Structure 1
Amino acid sequence: MTFVDHKAYIAAAPEQFRPTLHQLHATLKRALPDAAEIIAYNMPGFKIGDTVVASYAAFSKQCGLYLQPEAITEHAAEITAAGLKASKTGVTFTLKKWIPNDLVERLARASRDAVI
């Protein structure tokens, strides 16, 4: 399935994740007011210039937030303290262990700052 915008992506996501994806989208939009909303690699994201600074995805059992590597590195201790798993460019979370909104905002801003 190909998505045209964030709303269509969220509507097609697993039902249990939809309310929290709406919240994640709103948090990212608030944290990145200067970014354009896009669909890249069939995932919703936010782009500044030619660079995707934040994107997210829902899977069958978890969700992911994808950012610039510098953002993950800068907030590694907070990610670990929240009990979340991180890779070089992403943080995964479940409904039982959701990523806090304030951490999403800090990560998004750090990702933006890494590219501007």
Structure 2
Amino acid sequence: MSSQEIDDYLGRLDEVKRATLSQLRSDILRSLPNAEEGLSYAVPAFRLSGKLIAGFSAASKHLSYLPHSGTVLSSMAASDLEGYQWSKGALRFPVDRPLPRSLVKKLIAARRAET
């Protein structure tokens, strides 16, 4: 795994998606300064001690935060996820609206509590 893989992934995106996901990457690394960056299943992922903690992906009309857990999103307060579409494996958000840093911190804390 390498940070260059994520740089390459972001480099293939249009400017709006790249900017939004670059902000998410920065927020993830702020919460996980020792994370190993790379790709998992062809999308950016962040590991601690070999365990996937967070990730993200770009689709044609939305972006996704990937908690790499089937229970993180369902354990969040409804107010934290208000206005977002989500399933147990992904939190979708608009291409031009980064996730709030406070929400990213909560998502990572919930995932770390599981590992």
Which TM-score bucket, shorter chain as reference?
0.7 to 0.9
TM-score, with structure 1 as normaliser: 0.84
Residue of structure 2 in register with 1:111 after alignment = 111
Residue of structure 2 in register with 1:40 after alignment = 40
Q: Does 1:5 align with 2:12?
A: no
CA contact (8 A) 1:66 1:89 kept: yes
1:36-90 Cα shifts (integer Å, max 9, x gaps): 1121111111012232111100111100011123321221413432x00111121
Q: How many correspondences in the alignment?
A: 112
Alignment RMSD:
1.9
CA contact (8 A) 1:71 1:110 kept: yes
CA contact (8 A) 2:37 2:44 kept: yes
Q: Name structure 1 gaps, 5 residues minimum.
A: none
Alignment of 1:1-116 (within 5 A): 4-67=4-67, 68-81=69-82, 83-95=83-95, 98-115=98-115
Q: Name structure 2 gaps, 5 residues minimum.
A: none
SS at match of 2:8: helix
Deviation at 1:14, TM superposition (A): 2.8
Which deviates the most, 64-73 or 96-105? 96-105
Measure, in 2, the Cα distance between the counterparts of 1:11 and 1:63.
15
Q: Percent identity?
A: 28
Deviation at 1:6, TM superposition (A): 1.3
